[in-house]
C-alpha cells in the first residue's frame, strides 16, 4: 500500500477498542478521510497527545481504494488548538 504524507486537521475523534482511536480528518491531498489510529490511546505511542480536536499537522496514511476506513501510521502535530477561533 502506498503511504501518503499530507497536511491534515482533526475534525472528530472517538475511541475504538481498548487502545485505538478513529479520527475524521480534513486532508489537503485526499479530502476528508476516516482513519484508524492503532495504539493511539496507549501511554507510550507515536501519536502522543497530538490527536486532539482541531489539531493540525502532517498525517501519514495508508490509502487503499474501496475502503471507508483508512489506516494512519503517524501524525506529526504542528499546531494543537482548543477551539476553531
Residues 46, 71, 24: CA angle, nearest 5 degrees? 90
Question: Does 69 fall in a domain?
Answer: yes
User: In the chain, how many domains are there?
Assistant: 1
Q: Does residue 70 carry a pLDDT above 90?
A: yes
- The boundaries of the domain holding residue 64 are 3-79
CA-to-CA distance for 79 and 54, rounded, in angstroms? 9
Return d(Cα 56, Cα 63) in angstroms, integer.
19
**Predicted TM-score of the model (pTM):** 0.87
28 domain-assigned: yes
| Residue 84: inside a domain | no
Confidence band for 84, pLDDT divided at 50, 70 and 90: low
Inside any domain, residue 59: yes
pLDDT score for 85: 64
Domain assignment of residue 68, yes or no: yes
Cα–Cα distance for residue pair 85/78, rounded to 1 Å: 17
CATH number reported for the structural domain that contains residue 16 in this entry: 2.40.50.140
| Cell 481504494 found at | 65
The mean pLDDT value for 43-68 works out to 86
Amino acid at each position: 500500500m502506498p503511504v501518503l504524507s499530507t497536511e491534515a486537521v482533526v475534525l472528530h475523534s472517538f475511541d475504538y477498542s481498548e487502545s485505538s482511536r478513529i479520527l475524521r480528518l480534513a486532508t489537503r491531498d485526499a479530502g476528508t478521510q476516516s482513519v484508524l489510529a492503532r495504539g493511539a490511546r496507549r501511554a507510550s505511542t507515536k501519536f502522543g497527545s497530538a490527536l486532539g480536536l482541531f489539531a493540525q499537522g502532517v498525517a501519514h496514511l495508508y490509502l487503499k481504494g474501496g475502503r471507508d476506513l483508512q489506516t494512519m501510521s503517524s501524525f506529526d502535530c504542528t499546531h494543537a488548538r482548543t477551539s476553531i477561533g
